[in-house]
Chains A and B, each alone.
Chain A
Amino acid sequence: MIQPMTAKELEYVADSMSNEDLLMKQNAQVAAMATNQALRSLCSQMIQTHQQHYDSLLHAISHHQQTAPTQPQQ
């Protein structure tokens, strides 16, 4: 039986998805705008990794959905 996720953990997971989302967009901007070819290709690669991170975080929430209580606990 999986331990329920704490409220604090959920906050961190949600904030982390915001961070990953921003990084994806920033990297897309560098990949599109930069003149340095090495920088462009590195940033394109990093988009994939941030996508993976985002999906992992999303997966963590879905994995804990079943064990989450529906009433506040004291």
Chain B
Amino acid sequence: MYQQQNQPFLSDEDLAYTVLCDLKRVVREYATAATEASCPDIRELFTKLTNSTLTMQGQLFQAMQQANMYNTASPALRQELDKQMKQYQQTKQKTQQFLQQKTGGQMSQSMYTPSVHQSQSNQFQQPNYQ
């Protein structure tokens, strides 16, 4: 009709972006379905499908990034990181006190364990803000 033979109607970028958007949406739907499942086997199925779809979404995103279809997002500024760090260290301390009063609470283990850098060493160390 309007489209000439063998000539794509959409650019590579638009084609890929359409799929990426749907993968993102489907990841959310699978996660929601998993939380609302009552049969253990159905919950497990939706959990697996969430992970599998999330993997594909990541692969497509990387392929698009390598093809320069994505502008690199601008990095957060150091002072913003410092600000949030300070604020949430304070929140954490208050909550820790609250938990200790109520339950005699325990130290938490970080789930953030990057493979590069000095990961473990300063995990629980308080930063030195003057």
- Which residues in A have some Cβ–Cβ distance to B below 8 Å? 2-6, 8-9, 12-13, 15-16, 19-20, 22-23, 26-27, 29-30, 33-36, 38-39, 42-43, 46, 49, 53, 56-57, 60, 63-64
State whether A33 touches B41 (Cβ < 8 A).
Answer: no
| B22 within 8 A of partner (CB) | yes
Chain B residue at smallest Cβ distance from A32:
B8
- Which residues in B have some Cβ–Cβ distance to A below 8 Å? 8-10, 12, 15-16, 18-19, 22-23, 25-26, 29-30, 32-33, 36-42, 45-46, 48-49, 52-53, 56, 59-60, 63-64, 66-67
Closest 6 CB pairs of A and B: A12-B33, A33-B8, A3-B39, A34-B12, A30-B15, A19-B26
State whether A26 touches B33 (Cβ < 8 A).
Answer: no
State whether B16 touches A39 (Cβ < 8 A).
Answer: yes
Most buried by B among A6, A19, A49, A56: A19
Chain B residue at smallest Cβ distance from A59:
B45
State whether A36 touches B12 (Cβ < 8 A).
Answer: yes
Identify 11 residue pairs between A and B in the complex whose beta-carbon atoms are under 8 Å apart, listed by A's number: A3-B41, A9-B42, A16-B29, A20-B26, A33-B10, A34-B16, A38-B66, A39-B67, A42-B59, A46-B19, A60-B41
